[in-house]
Copies of this chain bind each other. A is one copy, B any other.
Amino acid sequence: MTPIVKNILDKYEGTSPAVKANLARILMHGKLGGTGKLVILPVDQGFEHGPARSFAVNPAAYDPHYHYQIAIDAGLSAYAAPLGMLEAGADTFAGQIPTILKVNSSNSWATSINQAQTGSVEDALRLGCAAIGFTIYPGSDHIFEMMEQIRALREEAEAAGLATVIWSYPRGGDISKDGELALDVGAYAAHMAALLGAHIIKVKLPSAHIEQKDAKKAYEKLDASTQAKRVAHVVQASFAGRRVVVFSGGASKGADAVYQDARDIRDGGGNGSIIGRNTFQRERGEALEMLAKLIAIYKNEE
């Protein structure tokens, strides 16, 4: 184990050796293993947007094996997906890459801002996962239920030695569309995930917008003029860097924008990217090239 990773793990106080071992599995795996940086492949878009909107542009991606294989070939840190998706390659790729079972999911037809639990800690154990993943929607009318659900699942995961990853996506209630990406909102979302006991926090890259009137004063003295500085603030809100924070790539976009995001995450002290559509909605060769470049950025080679 590298000193960098040892140093990260030491910050997880009150955490069992079993959970730390699973965090280490992720942090020591792949081409970024040992650097303290992560690139994770998430494939839950079939749930969120449906199969055709996710995979029609690159039909090979309809096959669950495709995602395991590209994550492995690209030397990524972990692969995260819902139950069926992981199960479909669980034997073939056993032991080749750490997996994260996404245990709740929404879909495009949902009539409330909520998710359904679709997997369990027992499933994660059975499939040899290193962690469970769970989404909360701060702002939603259902946030208290969601928090109580992840509270129980985290406790169960902890007892089973699994790490917990929280996707914290503000949405609904009094939060405006712009507010979903606002800096104050994103920092708050990351902080709540940390308070809930997340070992890895996943948030969106924040804009410079400040959503909450009551928060404006607090942000007056903070320099939020660049994306890297905004990343740094989110990291600060995540227990002053005591928790691993990764950022989502968002909708499919140009490669240069993806690289710039990664540089900003790196320069702001973030721990890496979770990058889904920007991976599998490109042709395999192109995607591997992009992932290689992202890894190089996180290695300070680009």
Q: What is A's interface to B at a CB cutoff of 8 Å?
A: 11-15, 46-47, 49-53, 56-57, 59, 62-64, 82-92, 105, 107-112, 114-120, 122-123, 126-127, 138-141, 143-145, 147-148, 151, 155, 170, 173-175, 184, 187-188, 191-192, 194-198, 212, 214-215, 218-219, 221-222, 233, 236-237, 239-240, 242-243
Q: Is the CB of A218 within 8 A of B87?
A: no
Give A288 to B54 CA distance when docked, in angstroms: 43
Q: Is the CB of A239 within 8 A of B155?
A: no
Give A138 to B243 CA distance when docked, in angstroms: 35
Q: Is the CB of B155 within 8 A of A85?
A: no
* Chain B, residue nearest A210 (CB): B52
Known pairs A64-B240, A110-B144; list 13 more (Cβ under 8 Å): A13-B88, A13-B91, A13-B92, A14-B88, A15-B87, A50-B187, A53-B218, A83-B197, A85-B239, A88-B194, A88-B239, A109-B170, A111-B141
Given contacts A14-B87, A116-B144, contact A174 B47 (CB under 8 A): no
Given contacts A52-B222, A111-B174, A138-B109, contact A240 B198 (CB under 8 A): no
* Chain B, residue nearest A139 (CB): B109
Given contacts A143-B116, A144-B114, contact A198 B84 (CB under 8 A): yes
Chain B residues whose CB sits within 8 angstroms of the CB of A110 once the complex forms: 143-144
This chain: copies in complex: 5
Pick the contact of A112: B84, B141, B188, B197 (CB < 8 A): B141
Pick the contact of A107: B56, B145, B192, B237 (CB < 8 A): B192
Give A40 to B170 CA distance when docked, in angstroms: 32
Pick the contact of A63: B47, B51, B240 (CB < 8 A): B240
Chain B residues whose CB sits within 8 angstroms of the CB of A47 once the complex forms: 191-192, 195
* Chain B, residue nearest A103 (CB): B151
Q: Is the CB of A187 within 8 A of B109?
A: no
* Chain B, residue nearest A140 (CB): B111
